[in-house]
A and B are shown apart, each in its own frame.
Chain A
Amino acid sequence: MSTPAAAPPTVINFTVDGRQLSAPPGTLLIDACKRAGIEIPAFCYYEGYSLQAACRMCLVEVEKMPKLQTACTLPVMEGMIVRSETEQLTKARKGTLEFLLTNHPLDCPVCDKGGECELQDMVFRYGAGESRFTEMKNHEPERQWSPVVFYDPARCILCYRCVRACNEGMGVGALGITNRGVLSEIAPNGGDHLDCDECGACIDICPVGALTSNTYRYKTRPWEMQHVGTVCTHCSNGCKTTLGVRNDEIMRGNNRDRSGINGEFLCVKGRYGFDFNAHEERLTSPMIRINGKLEEVSWSKALGFVAEKFKSVSAAGGKFGVVAGTHLTNEELFYLQKFSRAGLKSSNIDHVRSGDFVTLLDAVSGNLTSLATADDLYNTKAALVIGADLSQQHPFLAFQLRADVRHHKAKIFTVTPGPVREAKYSAASVVVPEGQEFDALNNLTEQLKGEKELVILFGDSIKGQRVRDLVAWAGTLGIPVKYVCLVDYSNSRGAMDMGVMPNLLPGYEADPHPGMSVKQMLASDALDVLWVVGENPLRETKLASKNAFVVAHSMFLDETASTADVVFPSASAYEKNGTVTNVTGQVQRLKAAVRTMGTKTDLEILGLIAKEMGMAVEIGVWSHDVVFKEIHKSVRGYNVPLPILITGGAAVTNPVNGRVAVDVLVDEIRSAGDTLFTSGSLGRYSKLLTSVPEFPGALYKR
């Protein structure tokens, strides 16, 4: 008679410093302790990356084990009795620190990391201030590896964190270690320089000040800054970024508290592309075209002038056209469409479209769970990327998939018009000429049928009928499928959700009086007013209507603002409160970090024009929280849990489509094809982004 095999335990019980703890099998002791509030010192260990066991700081005593054990490699075991602070351990850790300091310079007073350095903290904790070494310190000069990254070998404690972050987290592998022993140092892939994403992940993860960034180095001390958590304003991925602010100036961006959907991830744009905010060409005064020239005027004059013009055009039954930016907040977008529809009686309102989410919503109608969130990308067993260079265009989504591959052995499939980074770790990659992505899917059908589930991410080559075909094809796979419709900018998705479209109201309800799209507005010779709020539609297109009165809200004198009749200097997303919705439909709060004198938020400008026109009561109070309340109450899908939002989290919206068949104007759906180092018109005003010489991926031509 055979006894049934005992089921493997689902929980392990053990003791640390006399406290009874438990954790799932396979949990590393260091993590289990951390979750229980017991801090085991560690330099090389980093959650989420491979184990290194290089620093020996995490030593603990385990009963029945003769030697000290590294908590970062030891899985918890039943009945294990651990001590994390003893005299012996203090001595061991002190010794390790003394060793690390044999070559580490004590230049804390000038080091960027001073005040938030893990080595400094540990020396402070264990008091290893004295050294028995009298030999000269081994010194190598500091080097600049790229416009972003500096390396100071003397400060490096060889923990390999940067190497793993770059290799595993970024999938770039630009950092390695060369030489041996005391001469070891980090080496960049280009010999004396870096060819990489310039994401700065290596800099942020460095426990000491060995890696520093050009933007932040020697500029300030950590304790002199306020730290404001907001959302990156570049791409649609919606990474939370914590801006370090001093005297109304953004000093740095990072997310070390891992508070957002992105954890610590940020790409070069989120971490360093904030410098547009302080660009010397920022507009700081309203302007009116007088005798053909834009002249600076007071706010009251400009607002009054625009209000008068709007009133008279409106009274004469003239034609308005409104183009809204995809970096505006949901509140601004909602308020603007209300202004247009209710105030100006015009549905000629639109945004620049980059993905066909509208058709997707219609095609999956009635199936709420079919839209993937950022979490789904980390947890799915399989993902299919169609027609997008994810690592270039959607850096955070690509990061999620890489983590999914590392931690959950997910299978990635790609169908793209050129080689992409994902191919390196994909189960299958198909390269086809642009536009043929959909037809190439058949090559993968059989393979995908064998998967348990799938998340499909698709770019702008799948639009209109193609989206419906895609959903129908996915239906034949016989497995649960979720979708991400890739769009370009921080609130591209919000613009659709908020009804900034000529034929759909907020919440994707049909507009009974459909208006004109961006292209139609620009091409109409009967347009009386073109009102552009935070967009640059005249970058490549000329306005057909010769006599149109053009009003532009802008941060810079771009192609649109420079031809406008009135220009309002607007605040950037880092100067606003409100909410934005990312590509995976997750809404998050923006928190104003700085102010630029002379500017106003677009919401305020809209409100003040409404007030001047005597329509404030009708359109409503222009305060972001009041507008958000209205969105929360009235826009379908935005009835999200407020505590999540208020505490800085990402709330998942549930947009629904009541099967409203609208013409999505496929010709107008086109991704700008931004790379890691471009960001539409905004990127041009980031000196950091324009200074990076990297060739951005094989799919792109400079």
Chain B
Amino acid sequence: MTFTPETEKRLQDIWSRYPAGRKRSAVIPMLMYAQDELGMVTQELIAEVAQRCEVSPLQVEEVVGYYSMLNKQKMGKHHVQVCTNIACLLMGGEELWQHTTKRLGIGHKQITADGLISLEEVECAGACSWAPCVVDGYEYHHHMTIEKLDQLLDSIQKKVQ
């Protein structure tokens, strides 16, 4: 399996950061970066990671199954995560979630028909002090309100038009 030169370089960088013989340490970062490129974790990717990190494909499957940020279904160009864990819930996270699903017409771990946006309801995103929080890819949006959320979605959808 070949990746873009950028992704490939990132992968090589990872290994150089771990002691020799600890290839398996790269399983998670490798899955993450490759997922960014492919938009999902494919069976082919699992086999590739297993081979490169010298573990069994089943061990890679275990990691993929455990981490909700690794997706076996196709994700949208923008993967939008809405936190509804306790801090965000108290600050209106649930309403944000309801609003988003209604506006986009999709639910948890689903993707819009045009493949632009996928949606996920997540547990604590680690930004409780600035709750409620919505994450677009790796980008955090704090103190979210329904208006700000709409602006975010507008800008995503406008970019494509």
Contacts and interface: CB of A to CB of B under 8 A. Distances in A.
B45 to A, nearest CB: 15
A188 B61 CA distance: 10
A187 B66 contact: no
B56 interface: yes
B56 A187 contact: no
A178 B65 contact: yes
A543 interface: no
Max chain A CB contacts within 10 Å: which of B57, B59, B62, B68?
B62
A2 interface: no
A522 to B, nearest CB: 47
A491 B88 CA distance: 71
B61 A176 contact: yes
Given A173-B56, A189-B56, A180 B66 contact: yes
A11 interface: no
Interface in A141-193: 173-180, 187-189
B58 interface: yes
Contacts of A187: 58, 61-62, 65
Contacts of B57: 189
Interface residues on A, range: 10 to 19
Contacts of B65: 177-180, 187
B66 A173 contact: no
B68 A176 contact: no
A179 B66 contact: yes
Nearest to B43: A191
A174 B66 contact: no
A352 to B, nearest CB: 39
Contacts of B58: 173-176, 187-189
Which secondary structure dominates chain B's binding surface? helix
A180 B62 contact: no
A173 B68 CA distance: 24
Q: Label chain A's interface by main secondary structure.
A: strand
Given A189-B56, A189-B57, A176 B62 contact: yes
Nearest to B57: A189
Contacts of B68: 180
A179 B59 CA distance: 12
Contacts of A179: 65-66
B66 A178 contact: yes
A178 B64 CA distance: 8
Nearest to B55: A173
B44 to A, nearest CB: 14
Contacts of B66: 177-180
Nearest to A188: B58
Nearest to A180: B66
A409 to B, nearest CB: 16
Considering residues A174, A176, A189, which has the most beta carbons from chain B within 10 angstroms of its beta carbon? A176
B121 to A, nearest CB: 15
A189 B61 CA distance: 9
Contacts of A177: 62, 65-66
B46 to A, nearest CB: 11
Contacts of A173: 56, 58-59
A185 to B, nearest CB: 9
A179 B68 CA distance: 9
B108 to A, nearest CB: 14
Nearest to B62: A176
Contacts of A178: 61-62, 65-66
Nearest to A175: B58
A151 to B, nearest CB: 14
A180 B61 CA distance: 12
Most chain-A Cβ atoms within 10 A of its Cβ — which of B56, B57, B65, B68?
A: B65
A180 B63 CA distance: 10
Interface string B105-120: 0000000000000000
A177 B61 CA distance: 8
A438 B65 CA distance: 47
Counting chain A CB atoms within 10 Å of each CB, the highest count among B56, B58, B59, B61 belongs to B58
Interface of A: 173-180, 187-189
12 contacts: A173-B58, A173-B59, A174-B58, A176-B59, A176-B62, A177-B65, A178-B61, A178-B65, A180-B66, A187-B58, A188-B58, A189-B58
Given A173-B59, A175-B58, A177-B65, 15 more contacts: A173-B56, A173-B58, A176-B58, A176-B59, A176-B61, A177-B62, A177-B66, A178-B65, A179-B65, A179-B66, A180-B65, A187-B58, A187-B62, A187-B65, A189-B57
Q: What are the 5 closest A-B residue pairs judged by CB atoms, nearest first?
A: A178-B65, A176-B58, A176-B62, A189-B58, A179-B65
